[in-house]
Structure 1
Amino acid sequence: MSNALLNHLDDDARAAGCLQPSLSLPGRLIGELTIPDPDPDELIRNRLISRGGGTLLVSSTEAGKSSLAMQVSICWTAGVACFGLEPVGPLPIWVIQAENDDGDVVEERDGISRGLVRDGLLTQEQVAFVHGRLRIITETTRYGDAFGGWLQEQLSLAQEQGECPHLIVIDPALSFLGGDASLQRDVTHFLRGTLNPILKQFGTACLLVHHTNKSGWQRDRKVDSPPGDKAYLGSGSAEWANWARAVLVIEKTADPGLFILHAAKRGKRLNWQRDGKRTHDRHIAHAGEGEGIYWREPSPEEVNSIPTTKINRSVKVVDLDEVAGMARKPIAKSELQHRLQEKLGVGRDRVRGYVKACIDSGRLAECTVRVNPHFKLVGPLELVEKEARRQEEEYRQRELAV
């Protein structure tokens, strides 16, 4: 497009009043947006985590997500990277938790502190600094709007005293939700209606610790799914992952002490490398026997010795991706099980196990259709809840017409 034509269009726009600033219009013109250098909102390097945003840390029960959340909190309070997650400097952090008593927290604190010093990641002076700065808050009675109101009060008090945290860790999310984790309505109200305004008001970020569905079979580590798929492994509505600016997932391996940390959303920003190539995951490991609660970097020999696994029930080896492929569109759970029985020639209990494994591993999502009688739909996460609500509305319309 020629400059003459551009000038002509600008003249027309000015004549129409389109380029005149107006206080009544929302937002800003795209050309007015900038990123300061340095960015005062950046907390974790490459803007993985910034003020006002939320990050999700997801894993199954007993994997150690609370201890990993504590370890990154200790490291980031000291201004030190943890498993490639590097803060811009020492961060004031609050950990708001509901599941551990003081004894549990002390065990985590001491085990992690000893491990970090032993591995040369922190000095004793840095540990003392963290112990005098990282704040632990145990809250077991408030949830939903009551939790939001309480949190706003505490942050207002902290702001008055010049002690407002840059990051809040909330562990676990379900203790504070006050609703159904599978219903987008409830999850959206908590995340976007309750948390977001508070994070924006006080300029703080949030690391939300969340459960996966009940543990089932693991994926074959040789057949890895795209990083974005793992962002949706958290239990319940897809809204958990949609809300989060970044998602971290801890996944089990066939070795009970070794795990994979996936940067499932915004992972490209981390520039993790393996064999000279960019990757979205890295191995992490529990401390050895008698070394306390602590996450460490495993040796290459440990990683290479992880057994490869297939999904195997007795003598029948089944490709769960193939099972999930039979529900590319939402389908009644009972109908999928019936089709699998016919296709595989196995018993009902075996087929139920295969479908459950698909749900537990995130290949399929499950949603209850609340009609009379209730039944369950399974299918792709982004489709199944929408289809369930559509069928409920269709049922209500039929009832009204009778």
Structure 2
Amino acid sequence: MIADANAERIVAGWLLNCEEAGSGSDWQRAADITPDHFSADSVAREAFAVAAQLHAAGKAVGFESVASSERVTREDLAILTGWKDAQTSFYFADSLATLRETHKHQKRVTARLALAQAIERDEGIGEAYAALARIDEDAVALAAVPIMEIPTADTAHRATVNLLGNGFLRRGQGGLVNGPTGVGKSVLLEQGAFCWACGRDFFGIRPEHPLVVLLVQSENDDEDLVEMRDGILAGLAFTAEERDLIRKNVFTVRSFKSGLGWLREIEPLMVKHRPDILLADPLFAYAGVDVAKDQPGLSAFLREMVQPFIIKHACGIIFAHHTNKPPSGKEKPNWQAGDYAYAGSGHNELANWPRFVAVLRSLGSRTVFELRIGKRWKRAGICDTNGQPTDRVLIQHSDTGICWKTATDQDLARTVETAGATARTVAAVDADEVIVRAFNACAKKGRADIETVAKRCKFSEKTLRRRFKDENGIPRLVRSGDDVLTIANSQVVAVETEVQDDLAA
């Protein structure tokens, strides 16, 4: 954990503006802070040290009194004291917490190093363990409750915590909407915001009541937002009453920070507007980590930063995210059911953490797409033309403006660009069938290694291995009927055929 220079400047600058002598409330809040908490900014450290001595002596703390010590130049103090003018009490409290967390982390690292040295010397190991344990003694203790004593939620409580569908998204939960680049994910999110803000369902996903939505995005300028806004308002023919609700309930801001800095930046807006849903577009802009390679960093962002943040503000969050765009324009044609939870670009944590995952999927058309729910689809509330629950709906670009509208199979058939795209999909499915038949024949003889199965398929071993990867080189399952195959230790092996839908019931 790297020390936060800005947090140190905010704390020092804020306290330097506490002109009154004695025990001001801000100094009481910082009673445990020492110069050792300041390790990133030497000016802030020295200024705080002088101010703390003055305060402890019952003397007034301010620009002149600290400057008179001559331990900090007047120029540096002028910059430091200016921080209060640009900050709020919230930032002071948040920065205090940052200093405490960073200081504890540094103490823990030092204690662990001391323990390692004690173990190497085989001397003082017990004392080193005790010193490490004392660092965490002031941590908040968890309290377990008997699971049978947790009350069953009544209808009124469910209505309070539920946001979308039948528990599809509740307060304190997150969702993910995946889709290819440039097909209209931002429009889709903004259209969802408008519908939920006025109490309309969004392609079958209904809000519990008209919701307040804060859209935080980084890629669209004001002209883009206005163009999308006007297209959605015209295309969906909102009533005057619905437009008033949208005007009252939908807010947007453009943010370029990431990680914890992003959450700190938008927190004042969360306090001011109290949104029910926070829409973040895109995840790449705000995670602050490599979502494909840095699993610990991604988990820390989602589970240690975002999760407490949305619980604290009693809201849900939905991230827009990119899928890997395949060269053929066809996305995962052989995937089934819960596989679509894994459609986002990056680590599998992006399927595990969200309570729901939706995918805007290309089907070979430039205008007609499939909106598919890869996780918790039964809770979404989407129904087919016969009124039966379904995990997918066809949607298309509107002909009359920038917005999405429902589509039919006939719309899809009419707009599929080439027969070649369909032929490639059929060829891939045929290859899977060949592999599954060959595997079953080889397995009956007790030998299903890659070499044997490849010979049975009349493939090279390289070709067989390639069939177990998608267009981007990412491992995939080979399927045909109820048979599902993968490769493990140079063997072709069968795996479970059903991907469980998380909390589908």
Residue 282 of structure 1 pairs with residue 393 of structure 2: yes
1:263 to partner: Cα distance: 1.3
| Residue correspondences, number | 323
The 8 Å contact of residues 468 and 477 in structure 2, kept in 1 or not, is answered as no
- Report the more deviating stretch, 267-276 or 131-140: 267-276
Distance in structure 2 (CA, Å) of the matches to 1:179 and 1:132: 34
| Identity fraction in percent | 27
Shift of 1:239: 0.5
Equivalent position SS for 2:319: strand
Which residue of 238, 241, 258 corresponds with 1:143? 258
Q: Write out aligned runs for 1:82-121 (5 A).
A: 82-117=202-237
Q: Which runs of 5+ in 2 are unaligned?
A: 1-140, 439-449, 479-491, 496-505
Alpha-carbon distance, 1:357 to partner: 1.4
Which has the larger share of helix? 2
Give the drift of 1:89. Answer: 1.1
Shift, 1:56, TM fit: 0.6
Residue of structure 2 equivalent to 1:171: 281
Report the AA paired with residue 471 of structure 2.
A
Q: From the superposition, tell whether residues 323 and 188 of structure 1 become closer, same or farther in structure 2 (CA, over 3 Å).
A: farther
Q: Is the Cα–Cα contact under 8 Å of residues 213 and 360 in structure 1 kept in the other structure?
A: no
Counterpart Cα distance in 2 of 1:323 and 1:169: 44
The answer to whether residue 125 in structure 2 is matched with residue 42 in structure 1 is no
Change beyond 3 A, Cα 1:195–1:255: same
**Who is 1:63 aligned against?**
183
Q: Distance in 2 between matches of 1:347 and 1:37?
A: 58
- 1:47 alignment partner, SS class: coil
Of structures 1 and 2, the one scoring higher in RCO (CA 8 A, sep 6+) is 1
Alpha carbons of structure 1 residues 346 and 91: separation in structure 2 relative to 1, 3 Å: same
2:343 corresponding residue in structure 1: 233
Q: Structure 1 residues 340 and 116 mapped into 2: Cα distance closer, same or farther (>3 Å)?
A: farther
Provide structure 1 residue ranges, at least 5 long, that are not aligned to the other structure: 1-22, 327-335, 365-378, 383-402
**Superposition pairs of residues 3-22 of structure 1, within 5 angstroms:** none
Matched with 1:212 is: 323
Query: Which of 309, 312, 315 is 1:198 aligned to?
Result: 309
Alignment match, 1:298: 407
Distance 1:219 1:103, change over 3 A: closer
- Distance across 1 between alignment mates of 2:310 and 2:208: 19
The DSSP-based 3-state class of the residue aligned with 2:299 is helix
Letter in 2 for 1:213: N
Query: For each residue in 1:134-162, what CA deviation from the matched residue of structure 2 results, as whole angstroms up to 9, or x when unmatched?
Result: 1011002x111211222334324x2xxxx
Query: Structure 1 residues 363 and 176 mapped into 2: Cα distance closer, same or farther (>3 Å)?
Result: farther
**So what's the TM-score if we normalise by structure 1?**
0.70
Shift, 1:165, TM fit: 0.5
Aligned to 1:131: 247
> Counterparts of 1:367-386 in structure 2 under 5 Å?
none
- The alpha carbon displacement at 1:254 in A equals 2.0
AA of the residue aligned to 2:270: L
| Cα distance in structure 2, aligned partners of 1:153 and 1:244 | 24
What do residues 187-209 of structure 1 show as CA deviations (whole Å, max 9, x unaligned)?
10110011001001110100111
1:320 positional shift: 6.6
* Local SS of the residue matching 2:321: strand
CA distance in 2, matches of 1:196, 1:354: 35
